[in-house]
Structure 1
Amino acid sequence: MEETLLEILEEICGTDEVRNDLDINLFDDGLLDSLGVIELLLSIEDKLKISIQPTEVTREQIATPRKIIDYLKAKKGE
Structure 2
Amino acid sequence: MKEDIINILADATGRDASDFADSSEDLFADGLLDSMATVSVLLALQDQFSIQVPVSEFDRSQWNTVDKMVERVKELQND
Q: Does the TM-score normalized on the shorter chain lie above 0.5?
A: yes
Amino acid paired to 2:29? D
Aligned-pair RMSD on alpha carbons? 1.2
Amino acid paired to 1:4? D
Which runs of 5 or more structure 1 residues have no equivalent in the other structure?
A: none
Instruction: Render the CA deviation track for 1:2-55: whole Å, top value 9, x for unaligned.
Output: 22112101222313221x200111101111111111001111112222121112
TM-score by length of structure 1 reads 0.87
Which runs of 5 or more structure 2 residues have no equivalent in the other structure?
A: none
Question: Percentage identity across aligned positions?
Answer: 30
- Paired residues, what number? 77
- Following the alignment from structure 2 to structure 1, what is the Cα–Cα distance between the partners of residues 26 and 6? 14
Runs of 4+ more than 4 Å apart? none
Between stretches 30-39 and 2-11, larger displacement belongs to 2-11
Match of 1:7?
7
